[in-house]
């Protein structure tokens, strides 16, 4: 009897660990889990990214504090040219973009990153229909709004990039993202089992909702984006840094593509950003707990 109980307990223990392991591998995280060690592929994370060091008033507006938990932020989806035409995205709801979004974000205390460093390049994909939803989500927005400290860190990253490659520039693809837009992204995929795992439900949100995360790539002197192995918002493992060594070995990523990712990651980390293992383009300026303590989410 005692042996039977021991075996049963052992099996339950194994099942619990298998469950934990599965979720730790399959859950997309947009930021470092609480008390988690810094992820490091090339070098240790440099913790200069305390949102609490921002010398600016907290975002207030009419927003309410959100209850964020671990989640992934972006629609980690292939560009619309590769989205299957039989997806129900064709029957998606008509999106009404938030009016006067730039004015709204500036009114919340967010900064235009290019006002801090005019050499930063901006191409907000959600400000055009060239995104996986196929509709414009940011009307009248061409600037990248972020927390003041995030803007300073971006300027520092740009400086580090220029020191190594004077003709390269950081290209900003997404910056502050109101939670209303997060809801619209979610609505576009929530009925699609293969896609919704790549989008954070709005109740979870992301650091983009605080202006404390950015999606970026690097462009060359001609403005051409470096080849990172997948497009921005590509939905699949090929876009995930945690798998890139495997794809390098299998030949699905080239050494040049991996090197481009490593260059981006290195300059961002040196400027204090934290990379994530699920998207090569996404970087956090602080942890979610730091953001929650000091700021309110952008509604
Ligand atoms: Zn992102």
pLDDT digits (tens, 9 = 90+) for 15-57: 555 444 443 333 333 333 333 332 222 222 233 344 643 333 3
- Output the pTM of the full model: 0.74
Ligand 1 centroid distance, CA of 183 (Å): 15
Separation of CA 195 and ligand 1 centre (Å): 16
β-strands 169-174, 121-122 pairing: parallel
Unique residue bearing structure tokens 């690097």: 218
The answer to whether 54 touches 211, Cβ cutoff 8 Å, is: no
Torsional sign, CA 127, 129, 133, 136: positive
**Distance in Å, CA 246 to ligand 1 centroid:** 23
With bands split at pLDDT 50, 70 and 90, how would you rate the model's confidence at 206? confident
CB 120, CB 169: distance < 8 Å: yes
- Residues by chain with Cβ below 5 Å of ion ligand 1: 73-74, 215, 282
Residue 268 phi/psi, 5-degree rounding, is -70, -40
Phi and psi torsions of 213, nearest 5°: -145, 150
**115 exposed, middle or buried (CB, 10 Å; 0-12, 13-18, 19+)?**
middle
Query: Does residue 80 register a pLDDT over 80?
Result: no
Residue appearing with tokens 């509709």: 135
Q: Decide which of 185 and 74 is more confident.
A: 185
Looking at the chain, the whole-number percentage of residues with pLDDT higher than 70 is: 69
- The CA angle 243-88-132, to the nearest 5 degrees, is 50
| Spatial distance between the Cα atoms of 125 and 208, rounded to a whole number of angstroms | 14
Question: Active site includes 299?
Answer: no
206 Cα–ligand 1 center, Å: 8
Q: Is 288 exposed, middle or buried (0-12, 13-18, 19+ CB in 10 A)?
A: buried
**Catalytic residue chosen out of the listed positions 28, 93, 270, 279:** 279
CA of 262 to the centre of ligand 1 (A): 17
pLDDT attached to residue 17? 53
């Amino acid at each position: 009897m005692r042996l039977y109980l021991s075996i049963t307990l052992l099996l339950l223990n194994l099942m619990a660990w298998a469950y934990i392991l599965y979720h730790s591998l399959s859950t997309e995280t947009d930021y470092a889990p609480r008390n988690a060690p810094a992820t490091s592929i090339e070098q240790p994370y440099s913790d200069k990214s305390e949102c609490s060091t921002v010398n600016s008033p907290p975002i207030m507006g009419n927003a309410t504090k959100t209850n964020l938990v671990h989640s992934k932020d972006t629609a980690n989806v292939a560009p619309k040219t590769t989205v299957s035409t039989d997806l129900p995205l064709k029957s998606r709801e008509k999106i009404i973009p938030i009016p006067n979004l730039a004015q709204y974000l500036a009114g919340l205390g967010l900064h235009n990153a290019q006002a801090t460093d005019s050499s930063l390049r901006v191409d907000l994909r959600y400000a055009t229909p060239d995104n996986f939803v196929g509709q414009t989500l940011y009307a009248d927005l061409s600037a990248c709004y972020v927390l003041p400290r995030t803007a300073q860190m971006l300027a520092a990253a740009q400086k580090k990039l220029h020191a190594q490659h004077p003709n390269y520039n950081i290209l900003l693809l997404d910056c502050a993202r109101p939670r209303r837009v997060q809801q619209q992204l979610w609505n576009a995929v929530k009925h699609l089992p293969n896609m919704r795992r790549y989008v954070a439900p709005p109740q979870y949100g992301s650091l983009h909702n605080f202006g404390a995360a950015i999606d970026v790539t690097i462009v060359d002197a001609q403005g051409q984006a470096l080849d990172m192995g997948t497009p921005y918002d590509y939905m699949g493992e090929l876009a995930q840094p945690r798998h890139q060594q495997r794809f390098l070995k299998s030949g699905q990523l080239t050494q040049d593509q991996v090197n481009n990712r490593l260059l981006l990651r290195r300059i961002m980390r040196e400027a204090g950003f934290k990379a994530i293992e699920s998207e090569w383009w996404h970087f956090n300026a602080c942890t979610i707990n730091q953001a929650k303590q000091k700021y309110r989410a952008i509604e």
